[in-house]
């Protein structure tokens, strides 16, 4: 009989042989920045998550800066929306101003600009529309403009989440033409059309005004297609590729980790966060243990970068572990 229990007999022994260890640097914290002043608004479906106006952002930025996590993924919540999403690529838009503020005060933080039109369009779709059709190729130059303006403002990386075909190539070309040859692109490569995004849409005010996103985001019945999406983003020049959401898609994540030698990110999305928080607030689960288990599973499946609303809590818990 082989005795597996030999290496399980003490916590020191278990720590010595464990295969997967989380570190604060594994995490990216998503941040919602809202136009206006003196605003710190809680997001009802995401307890512990707030929308900040630029003047109040430092409260959370200082925590992020001290936490050891790698950086932030920024989403703008503009006052003005229109069919073309013009605030997304306004040099003085909410996201561009937020980036300038952050990079000036926290130069070491990795600032990633989410590139998509849905927070900025009056119809709430990720691309421009004609009637009820989402127009792929007409959207690409607008995404490229958003990328260039956010990088000009100081973003260290851009992350297109729109799921238009050819988005990464269009953005790469525009960045290169503007001299930003060293700015990496993180593709939201295998982004599934998911009911897990609904709390985010409350937070960002980005729910589609008609229809759904199924004509551009992926069908969750398809795993292999996720690998083709990732391969395609790599061929377009993506530096980092992503699977999103996380927990219901660990099979895709694992297959991607086995197949591609590119840094792989996973997005532990708003609905996944909301479910854990709801159960924890009811006292039905141990939040710290559940979050540790979930995030470890994402890393074990092959994620190098974990984008999560739990980032600050998890970084704090890891510190307490080390110091005990």
Per the residue annotation, which of 63, 103, 105, 244 is the catalytic one? 244
Count of other CB atoms within 10 angstroms of residue 78: 20
| DSSP-derived secondary structure for 121-161 | BTT--SS-EETTEE-HHHHHHHHHHHHHHHHHTT-SEEEE-
Strands (E) across the chain are located at 27-34, 40-42, 50-52, 71-77, 110-115, 129-130, 133-134, 157-160, 186-191, 240-244, 264-268, 305-308
Q: Which is nearer to ligand PBG, 75 or 317 (CB)?
A: 75
Contacts for 131-137 with beta carbons within 8 Å, 24 or more apart?
132/210, 132/211, 134/215, 134/216, 136/164, 136/165, 136/166, 136/216, 137/166
191 assigned to active site: yes
**Cα–Cα distances in angstroms (integers) from residue 46 to residues 35, 63, 165, 224, 234, in the given order:** 20, 19, 31, 32, 33
Candidates 270, 292, 294, 308: give the one binding ligand PBG (CB under 6 A).
Answer: 270
Site string for ligand PBG, 110-149 (x = CB under 6 A): ----x-x-x-------x-----------------------
Candidates 269, 291, 305, 314: give the one binding ligand PBG (CB under 6 A).
Answer: 269
Is 236 a binder of ligand PBG (CB under 6 A)? no
Is 243 a binder of ligand PBG (CB under 6 A)? no
Minimal distance, residue 174 CB to ligand PBG, in Å: 19
Q: Which is nearer to ligand PBG, 126 or 170 (CB)?
A: 126
Is 126 a binder of Zn ion (CB under 5 A)? yes
Q: Which is nearer to ligand PBG, 120 or 317 (CB)?
A: 120
173 assigned to active site: no
Minimal distance, residue 279 CB to ligand PBG, in Å: 18
Q: Which helix (H) or strand (E) holds 313?
A: helix 311-323
Minimal distance, residue 198 CB to ligand PBG, in Å: 8
Q: Which is nearer to ligand PBG, 159 or 227 (CB)?
A: 159
Catalytic annotation, residues = 191, 244
Which residues of this protein are in contact with ligand PBG, per CB under 6 A? 114, 116, 118, 126, 161, 197, 200-201, 206, 213, 269-270
């Amino acid at each position: 009989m082989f005795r597996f229990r030999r290496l399980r007999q003490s916590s020191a022994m278990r720590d010595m042989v464990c295969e997967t260890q989380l570190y604060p640097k594994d995490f990216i914290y998503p941040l919602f920045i809202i136009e206006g002043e003196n605003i710190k608004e809680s997001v009802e479906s995401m307890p512990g998550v707030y929308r900040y106006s630029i003047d109040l952002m430092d409260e959370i930025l200082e925590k992020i800066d001290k936490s050891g996590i790698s950086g932030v993924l920024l989403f703008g919540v503009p006052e003005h929306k229109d069919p073309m999403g013009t605030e997304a690529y306004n040099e003085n838009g909410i996201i561009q101003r937020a980036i300038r503020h952050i990079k000036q005060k926290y130069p070491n933080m990795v600032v990633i600009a989410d590139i998509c039109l849905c927070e900025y369009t009056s119809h709430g779709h990720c691309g421009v529309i004609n009637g009820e059709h989402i127009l792929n190729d007409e959207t690409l130059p607008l995404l490229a403009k958003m990328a260039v303006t956010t990088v000009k403002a100081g973003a260290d990386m851009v992350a297109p989440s729109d799921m238009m075909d050819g988005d990464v190539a269009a953005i790469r070309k525009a960045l290169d033409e503007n001299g930003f040859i060293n700015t990496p692109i993180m593709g939201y490569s295998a982004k599934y059309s998911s009911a897990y995004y609904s709390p985010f849409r409350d937070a960002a005010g980005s729910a589609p005004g008609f229809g759904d996103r199924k004509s551009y985001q992926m069908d969750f019945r398809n795993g292999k297609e996720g690998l083709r999406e990732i391969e395609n983003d790599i061929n377009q020049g993506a530096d980092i590729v992503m699977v999103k959401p996380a927990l219901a898609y660990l099979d895709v994540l694992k297959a991607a980790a086995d197949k591609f030698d590119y840094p792989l990110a996973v997005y532990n999305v708003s609905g996944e966060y909301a479910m854990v928080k709801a159960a924890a607030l009811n006292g039905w689960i141990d939040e710290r243990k559940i979050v540790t288990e979930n995030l470890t599973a994402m890393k074990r499946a092959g994620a190098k970068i974990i984008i999560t609303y739990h980032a600050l809590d998890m970084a704090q818990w890891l510190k307490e572990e080390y110091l005990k």
